[in-house]
Structure 1
Amino acid sequence: MSESVETRLEATPVVTEPVPDLQLQLLIQLLDREQRSSLPITLALAGGVLHGDVIGHEAWKADWARSLRQVEGEGANLIAEFPETVDQGIRELGGGDVSSQLPRWIHLRDATLMSGGAGALRLPLWRGRLADVSGWALGRPQ
């Protein structure tokens, strides 16, 4: 076997991920400081265009819990606490304070997804991976 082929076979594989937009991450981090803050935003995604009010993680958790408490049944109350339970688990596993890291997720309130030939889909809350956002602009479409 040639030396170059052996070198390639012995190399450690590298996992690559799409890199989120740093400015969008910092904007979301700023919104995380004040739970009542939001900004209108339009996002370009592989599946279409999404617009709504971008909110911080804590605001999303509060809205999530509030919306599930309006649903009847024992399971709704259990699920309402799920985002806080996940954050607590991360802290306990040594992941540190989740709020001190650059965000990897984006949260929208009163979102509308527009996709191809389908009609607009309205969503009270939406959560997506920042790395899946290919473009963004402040404001909503006219």
Structure 2
Amino acid sequence: MSEFAGTSQGPASVITEPFPDLQLQLLIQLLDRELRSSLPITLNVPSGVLYGDIIGHEAWKAEWARTLRQVEGEAANLIAEFPETVDQGIKEMRAGDDTQLPRWIHLRDATLVVGSVNTVSMPLWRGRLADVSGWGLGQPQ
């Protein structure tokens, strides 16, 4: 007898997502308490090794908004408000659910090492926490 007996459509599709490291989520939550807090960190991500200073979401959002304000053109003012607009939309989606742990990780002064010699430097970086397969405090010498 099938485990799906009685259903005419068959099994429902289930979307699964890798589970982020709980300790890293709690570290990010701690950094979110103080806008000026940061820690040097090295991450293993699918594209290589990434290192920089881990910062909280609010610090990343403030620096991102500051960067966007430097953009010139007719849409500059609209773009500068974008980080706050995104956050407002997320807050509305989560209405009443303050228990969620962070799902994103943010770095300042990040360097991505791809292969043995290729590096990419970025003033700000944001990535999905579930894509981090390993991490350690500190940066390569």
Report the TM-score range of the alignment, normalised by the length of the smaller protein: 0.7 to 0.9
Aligned length: 139
1:77 corresponding residue in structure 2: 77
User: Matches of residues 54-73 of structure 1 in structure 2 within 5 Å?
Assistant: 54-73=54-73
Shift of 1:91: 2.5
Distance 1:74 1:116 in 2: 40
Which structure 1 segments of 5+ residues have no match?
none
Shift of 1:77: 2.7
User: Which sections of structure 2, spanning at least 5 residues, go unmatched?
Assistant: none
Name segments (4+ residues, structure 1) moved above 6 Å.
none
The separation in 2 between residues aligned to 1:76 and 1:49, in whole angstroms, is 33
Matches within 5 A, 1:1-142: 3-4=1-2, 6-7=4-5, 10-93=10-93, 95-96=94-95, 101-117=100-116, 119-142=118-141
Contact preservation (8 Å) 2:69, 2:79: no
TM-score by length of 2: 0.88
Q: Which structure features the higher share of helix residues?
A: 1
SS at match of 2:2: helix
- Distance, in Å, in 2 between the alignment partners of 1:97 and 1:38 is 28
Q: Deviations over 1:86-128 (max 9, x none)?
A: 11122234x1268752100000000000001552111000000
Provide the aligned C-alpha RMSD in A: 2.2
TM-score normalised by structure 1 residue count = 0.87
